[in-house]
Chains A and B, each alone.
Chain A
Amino acid sequence: MLQLERKKEENKDILRLIGEVDASNSILLDQSIQEILEQGATVLLIDGTELEYISSAGLGVFMSYLDDFSERGIRFAIFGLNEQVNEVFKILGLDRLIAIAPDLSTATRLTHES
């Protein structure tokens, strides 16, 4: 089960992922990010505090947008990942390609600096 919640805080678009992202629902994550981009986001933060699981299908969605983000100057970070999910990002070395922060305020600071 995956639930997606969007909110806007000042210039930040925050997408909260609740539950599990796998091959059956990664399309929903893809669509949400696409919509946010189409509406002209400048800062996109993924709130992973309630993300329990993510497979390569979901990781691949993030990876497929990394070039887009840098071309359009969109600042992107993921925050609040639990230990297990964070470890999955690290196995692949994604923590070197994506800004990963412990919490919203750190993520906000990271995206301001970049």
Chain B
Amino acid sequence: MEPRKNYTVILADDDFDDAELFQSVLSDVAPQIKFVHVEDGSDLLRLTEKLLPDAVFLDINMPRVDGWQCLKQLRESAIGERIPIFMYSTSSHSRDQQLSKDLGASGFITKPSEIKVLQQVLTNITQKLLDGDGLAV
């Protein structure tokens, strides 16, 4: 199987610092993956109508359409059923982790303050993506 040439991940996060860090680390661990940043859930939903990403990362607290609504709508849409969706939030609350599972997210990532930790997390995820294993939904 010929590896796919283009991979795209989308991060929906209203925090530009976080988005920048995410991009920085992602380009370090997987430079071949295209990164798209949107500011909130509504932008993401609009984007996915034209673009099929390989993975989606959702912040929870966002203006207009928040992470939960976005997750729910994506999972109900045709494309959303097949792509991995990760919650990417500062929260470490068990309640949020449970909700994330209930709504069908592929994983819950607490935004780390250490780059090493984020590197580790993104390496694991992109490796699986690039290996073409697909990610468990």
A and B are partners in one complex rather than unrelated chains: no
Which residues does B use to contact A, with CB under 8 Å? none
Which residues does A use to contact B, with CB under 8 Å? none
